[in-house]
Amino acid sequence: MGAPSRRLRLLATTAAVAAVVAAAGCGGDGDDASGAKKAYAIGFQGPLSGENQQLGINAYNGMLTAVEAFNRSGAQPFTLRIVASDDQGVPEQGPTAAQKLIDVPDVIAVVGPVFSGPAKSSEPLYSQAGLLSVSPSATSPQLTDLGFTSFYRVISPDTVQGAAAADYLAKALKANRVFSLDDRSDYGVGLSASLEKALRDQGVTVVHDGLNPTKDYTSEATKIIAAGPDAVYYSGYYAEFALLVKALRGKGYDGEILAGDGSNDDQLIRQAGARTAEGVLLTCACGDANSDPRAASFVAEFKRVNSGVRPGTYSGEAYDATQAIISVLTRNGATATRTSVREGLRAVDIPGVTKRIKFDERGEVSDSTVYVYEIRDGQRVVLGPTSTLTKP
Q: Which of residues 96-125 bind other proteins (CB under 8 A)?
A: 96, 99-100, 102-103, 117, 120-121, 124-125
Beta-bridge mates of residue 235: 182
Confirm if 154 and 367 have CB atoms less than 8 A apart.
no
Q: How far is CA 316 from CA 109, 154, 187, 275, in A?
A: 18, 10, 20, 28
Site for other proteins in 246-275 (CB under 8 A): 246, 249-252, 267, 270-275
Helix (H, G, I), strand (E, B) or coil at 14: helix
Contacting range for other proteins; rule: CB under 8 A; set: 48-56, 63-71, 197-205, 360-368:
48-56
Contacting range for other proteins; rule: CB under 8 A; set: 43-51, 149-157, 318-326, 353-361:
43-51
Binding string, residues 50-69; x marks residues near other proteins by CB under 8 A: xx-xx---------------
Helix ranges, 251-357 (H): 266-272, 274-277, 296-305, 315-332, 338-344
Give min distance, CB of 24 to other proteins, in A: 4
Does 31 bind other proteins (CB under 8 A)? Our answer is no
Helix ranges, 137-211 (H): 158-167, 186-202
Rounded CA separation 65/73 (Å): 12
Give min distance, CB of 264 to other proteins, in A: 16
C-alpha R_g of the chain: 23
Nearer to other proteins, 100 or 310 (CB): 100
Does 344 bind other proteins (CB under 8 A)? Our answer is no
State the chain's maximal CA–CA distance in angstroms: 86
Rounded CA separation 189/149 (Å): 24
Q: How far is CA 130 from CA 28, 44, 141, 146, 206, in A?
A: 29, 16, 22, 16, 42
Nearer to other proteins, 171 or 270 (CB): 270
Contacting range for other proteins; rule: CB under 8 A; set: 151-159, 238-246, 288-296, 302-310:
238-246
Does 189 bind other proteins (CB under 8 A)? Our answer is yes
Confirm if 150 and 135 have CB atoms less than 8 A apart.
no
Kind plus residue range of the DSSP H or E element containing 257: strand 256-259
Give min distance, CB of 96 to other proteins, in A: 7
Q: Which of 206, 211, 248, 324 binds other proteins (CB under 8 A)?
A: 211
Does 49 bind other proteins (CB under 8 A)? Our answer is yes
Q: Which of 39, 90, 172, 382 binds other proteins (CB under 8 A)?
A: 90
Q: Which of 171, 177, 184, 303 binds other proteins (CB under 8 A)?
A: 184
Contacting range for other proteins; rule: CB under 8 A; set: 38-46, 194-202, 213-221, 313-321:
213-221
Does 243 bind other proteins (CB under 8 A)? Our answer is yes
